[in-house]
Structure 1
Amino acid sequence: MGDFKKASALALVLIAVLTQFISSSSVAMPLGKIEKSLKGKVICIDPGHGGTAETDSYRVGPTGEREEWINLRVGTLLGEMLEQSGAKVIYTRTTDTFIPLAERSKIAVENKVDLFISIHHNATADPKVNFPIIYFHGSAEENKASVDFGEKVAKKLVKHLFKGKGPYSLVSDFTIFSSSGASVLRGTYGIPGIIGEATFFTSPKEEKRLRLPDYNKKEALAYFEAIALFFNTAEVLPIAEKNDPSKIEPFKVFQEADRMKPEAKQWKANFSKGKKLFRKGGEQRLEKAFELLTLSARSFPDSYVAKECHELRVLILSKQGETDAAEMEKKRVRFFYP
């Protein structure tokens, strides 16, 4: 009897969620169409990190809420929604345990999944920062399916968690891991897949929201809607064989610990100052502008201004006669910042 009540309660929750989806989605989809698009799909949910509370002091909010706990809550809620809609869900972890990155990729590949979603939440030195960042692997011109899915996820996260307002970033994982990309996306390349950093737990207000079950459900619903839309197409966009990544010279950026340093807080101020100096022109101003724009892009390489930082760097390099460097920057913008 207990199992029946639990199943009934879950069914009621799902009906409520799907009703909300149908009534609020910018692309209305009847319940039957949702089920048709998801039925039989094999989807891997990878709740990021796990089992490192005693060894990892980086992934924790101002009052102690840990990213790995949030990831698991959202991933579990999303999995329940998908299963109730006819999809088969493969989890890389279902408890607060450590799973090696290579093992996560292996789970997805061996189960021949149709979609890979690694659920994460973000951190930075600036406590005012809060917006979604979605990563795809490699080049936007090669990994078109993942870019398409990533854009859908980003827009749904803005809709549900930010009241439809504000920026988001959709970038290659080479923006933060400039020599190889992210392990879980590299290891599952060929499968449409993303890493979703829905919000920043280093924002005190956001950390409080991330503790709330209803807020976790909103995030899970955003992913659910994006997945349903992604599969509600006649054909998924192609994923081409990867080209040699060495064709793009690595742009060295701050890694996790460095991004928590005080100077990293100046990412937006440095962008604004650099842009103003560029507009004023003059050799010395251009040199200073280039320095500030480079520092902004290194401090926060996946921010919503990073693409413009690189675009301005192209113009400055061109003015300085650095033709080869400017061409490399153009490729970086085209491939990594769609």
Structure 2
Amino acid sequence: MAWSTFDSNRNALQGKVICIDPGHGGTAETDSYRVGPTGEREEWINLRVAILLGEMLKLAGAEVILTRTTDTFIPLADRSKIALENKADLFVSIHHNATADPKVNFPIVYFHGSAEENRASVDFGEMVAQKLVKHLFKGKGPYSLVSDYTIFSSSGASVLRGTYGIPGIIGEATFFTSPKEEKKLRIPDYNNKEASAYYEAIISFFESSEVSKISEKEDPSRVVPFEVFQEADRMKPEAKMWKSNFLKGKKLLKKGGEARLVEAFDLLTLSARSFPDSYVAKECHELRLEILRRQGKTEAVEMEEKRIRFFYP
């Protein structure tokens, strides 16, 4: 990125404190989950991208706080505390994703809680997702922007919950379980592309004419948690069926008939449980809603409407 670019962005970033959180760290001997097909670990990738992003932001005039600068373990609560104590204006947690299906690869960006309450983080998340698609996917393909309640249904993600009130996101730029993607993620120039995506999103956010407000969180129990597969479960063989289950359920719904509606509902539910933050999960819930309406299940309809509105903006 040219020096003139950093100079031109100084007005947007001058005086801003940005906390960058490279996810995980220091768990190579204890965590066999966050590793790609040929041994590249997520925590290493996260740190490389975070350091590159931090350098870009500093050159453009921001004050940058990293929750870790080496491959060390930092408790989740401490990461949030670092952002709060330094009065961060923005919180960016950098991650990369994993799933049972090696062909899956697209960005997922999480905000905390309800989209209706945490509008600033939703706005920032949208910018991050679009820039990741631009830089890493040649401007093509799907992305997900979802609440962290879609994967941690009872409380959301710790670092976003702990920093609530600061606009913030967790960005899962790509899937290191894709063999082709893992190979790219080892390349410094590719890491730099990802850092550039975050950098451009941060500039766009602070250049926005008006930053949306973050409201005080309401009682999360107003939305009953939707049971989903957790990390280990999402690596099971049945989790690979997330897309085909969605397509089968959608097809059965079009055919109609009570028996088909029941089967469609089960397939759509399984798809949403298997991959609740996928780019089809929102449509799974929308189709579930259509079935519930046809079945006249008023209370279930109201709850499903809330899930869609709060968690899938």
Question: Which TM-score band applies after superposition, normalised by the shorter structure?
Answer: over 0.9
Task: Classify the secondary structure of the residue corresponding to 1:49.
Answer: coil
Find out whether 1:172 has 2:172 as its counterpart.
Answer: no
Task: Classify the secondary structure of the residue corresponding to 1:82.
Answer: helix
Checking the alignment, whether the CA contact within 8 Å between 2:100 and 2:240 is kept in structure 1 is yes
Structure 1 stretches of 5 or more lacking a match? Answer: 1-13, 20-30
Find out whether 1:271 has 2:246 as its counterpart.
Answer: yes
1:49-101 per-residue CA deviation (whole Å, 9 max, x = no partner) reads 00000000000000000000000000000000000000000010000000000
Find out whether 1:187 has 2:174 as its counterpart.
Answer: no
Q: Which residue is equivalent to 2:39? A: 64
Structure 2 CA distance for aligned equivalents of residues 96 and 331 of structure 1: 40
Q: Which residue is equivalent to 2:64? A: 89
Find out whether 1:15 has 2:2 as its counterpart.
Answer: yes
Matches within 5 A, 1:131-210: 131-210=106-185
Q: Specify which of 279, 298, 313 is matched with residue 304 of structure 1.
A: 279
Task: Classify the secondary structure of the residue corresponding to 1:75.
Answer: helix
Q: Which residue is equivalent to 1:252? A: 227
RMSD: 0.9
Q: Which residue is equivalent to 2:86? A: 111
Identity within the alignment, %: 80
Residue 233 of structure 1: CA displacement? 2.1
Checking the alignment, whether the CA contact within 8 Å between 2:7 and 2:60 is kept in structure 1 is no
1:218-249 per-residue CA deviation (whole Å, 9 max, x = no partner) reads 00000000000000023311000001000000
Structure 2 CA distance for aligned equivalents of residues 236 and 33 of structure 1: 21
Which runs of 4 or more aligned residues in structure 1 lie more than 6 Å from their structure 2 counterparts after TM superposition?
none
Residue 133 of structure 1: CA displacement? 0.1
Find out whether 1:322 has 2:297 as its counterpart.
Answer: yes
Paired letter, 2:274? S
Find out whether 1:227 has 2:205 as its counterpart.
Answer: no
Task: Classify the secondary structure of the residue corresponding to 1:135.
Answer: strand
Find out whether 1:99 has 2:74 as its counterpart.
Answer: yes
TM (norm. structure 1) is: 0.91
Q: Which residue is equivalent to 1:22? A: none
Structure 2 stretches of 5 or more lacking a match? Answer: none
Structure 1 CA distance for aligned equivalents of residues 303 and 212 of structure 2: 27
Gap change, CA 1:94 and 1:32, over 3 Å in 2: closer
Q: Specify which of 254, 263, 270 is matched with residue 288 of structure 1.
A: 263
Q: Which residue is equivalent to 2:49? A: 74
The number of residues matched between the two structures is 313
Rg larger in structure: 1
Structure 2 CA distance for aligned equivalents of residues 249 and 295 of structure 1: 17
Structure 1 CA distance for aligned equivalents of residues 258 and 7 of structure 2: 62
1:274-322 per-residue CA deviation (whole Å, 9 max, x = no partner) reads 0000000000000000000000000000000000000010111111111
Task: Classify the secondary structure of the residue corresponding to 2:9.
Answer: helix
Matches within 5 A, 1:17-32: 19=5, 32=7
Q: Which residue is equivalent to 2:101? A: 126
Q: Which residue is equivalent to 1:23? A: none
Task: Classify the secondary structure of the residue corresponding to 2:103.
Answer: coil
Residue 35 of structure 1: CA displacement? 1.1
